[in-house]
């Protein structure tokens, strides 16, 4: 089984609050369907989550009354985004159902706790994809906190037998600098822990959950002898489909895990 994260930068326009990239999502759903692979999808929050989460400092936890309406609004916005994605999945022929993490699970000091995975497993056994996403989640220590889709991915690799983890983003792979502002930035074909240590950790700092650097760290934690983790550009038509079919594509592969 493959685990795919549709990143917030590909499913939304991150510069504009609540701007959904419907055409891209529709195409990616079709590429996944056409691959014929068994897949679970997690998605990011993009401009449906990060804009208000940053403005009200939601990842710091419960600090002031004025955060509370923002928590409710972000919960609403990311569920709205999710329902549009689940709709596209179902319309493309992939039976899918929303499982909002903030309504089903809690966190403890920003770590997602999934004490009971029965619902997730039973949906998968029925051939229905449970779709989880970056959300605001109640936290036993902090009151609430931001749960990134990347962390959900890590938990899911403990629950399901995942042989390939794919992060679909709007860049070709991991670069040694931000390719959007530095045209001479170089892309890595593979990264290991040593590469990561030399990468600028402030790339894509717009994300309250850390951007490319944190993603690459999560990828290194998830890869193993039996499982590869790949970052691929979803704006390049057909690239995700080729990757899922086992073809060579432009991407960054994480190797060697993290110590």
Q: Binding residues for ligand IP8, per CB under 6 A? A: 8, 44-45, 49-50, 53, 74, 78, 134-136, 146, 148-150, 207-209
Give the CB-nearest residue to ligand IP8. 134
**Residue that the structure tokens 């190797």 belong to:** 255
Among 95, 103, 99, 134, smallest CA distance to 9 is for 134
Q: What is the four-CA torsion angle of 21, 26, 30, 32, rounded to 10 degrees?
A: 40
Nearer to ligand IP8, 220 or 226 (CB): 220
Ramachandran area for residue 130 (φ above 0: left; ψ -120 to 50: alpha; else beta): beta
How far is CA 130 from each of CA 6, 64, 99, 140, rounded to the nearest angstrom? 14, 33, 6, 25
Nearer to ligand IP8, 150 or 170 (CB): 150
Nearer to ligand IP8, 143 or 256 (CB): 143
Cα 194 from chain centroid (whole Å)? 23
For 2, other C-beta atoms within 10 Å of its C-beta total 19
CB 156, min distance to ligand IP8, A? 13
CB 136, min distance to ligand IP8, A? 5
- Rounded Cα distance between 248 and 239, Å, is 9
Nearer to ligand IP8, 54 or 245 (CB): 54
CB 246, min distance to ligand IP8, A? 27
Nearer to ligand IP8, 135 or 172 (CB): 135
CB 127, min distance to ligand IP8, A? 26
CB 126, min distance to ligand IP8, A? 26
Nearer to ligand IP8, 136 or 199 (CB): 136
Question: Both tokens of residue 8?
Answer: 């917030």
**Residue that the structure tokens 């990468």 belong to:** 199
CB 46, min distance to ligand IP8, A? 6
Cβ density class 180-191: b for 16+ within 10 Å, e for less? eeeeebeebeeb
- Rounded Cα distance between 194 and 254, Å, is 11
């Amino acid at each position: 089984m493959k685990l795919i994260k549709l990143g917030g930068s590909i499913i939304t326009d991150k510069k504009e609050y609540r701007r959904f990239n419907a055409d891209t999502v529709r195409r990616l759903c079709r590429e996944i369907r056409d691959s014929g692979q068994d897949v679970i999808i997690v998605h990011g929050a993009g401009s449906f989550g990060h804009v208000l989460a940053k403005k009200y400092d939601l990842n710091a936890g419960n600090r002031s009354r004025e955060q509370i309406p923002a928590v409710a609004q972000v919960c609403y916005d990311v569920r709205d985004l999710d329902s549009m994605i689940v709709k596209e999945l179902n319309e493309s022929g992939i039976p899918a159902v929303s499982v909002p993490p903030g309504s089903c699970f809690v966190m403890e000091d920003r770590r997602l706790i999934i004490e009971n995975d029965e619902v997730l497993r039973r949906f998968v056994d029925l051939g229905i994809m449970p779709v989880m996403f970056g959300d605001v989640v109640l936290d036993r220590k902090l009151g609430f906190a931001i749960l990134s889709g990347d962390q959900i991915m890590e938990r899911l690799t403990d629950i399901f037998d995942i042989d390939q983890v794919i992060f679909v983003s709007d860049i070709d792979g991991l670069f040694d600098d931000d390719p959007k502002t530095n045209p001479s930035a170089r892309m890595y074909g593979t990264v290991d822990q040593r590469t990561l240590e030399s990468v600028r950790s402030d790339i894509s700092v717009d994300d309250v959950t850390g951007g490319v650097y944190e993603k690459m760290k999560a990828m290194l934690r998830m890869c193993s002898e039996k499982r590869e983790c790949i970052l691929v550009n979803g704006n390049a038509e057909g690239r995700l489909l080729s990757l899922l079919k086992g073809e060579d594509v432009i991407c960054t592969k994480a190797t060697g895990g993290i110590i």
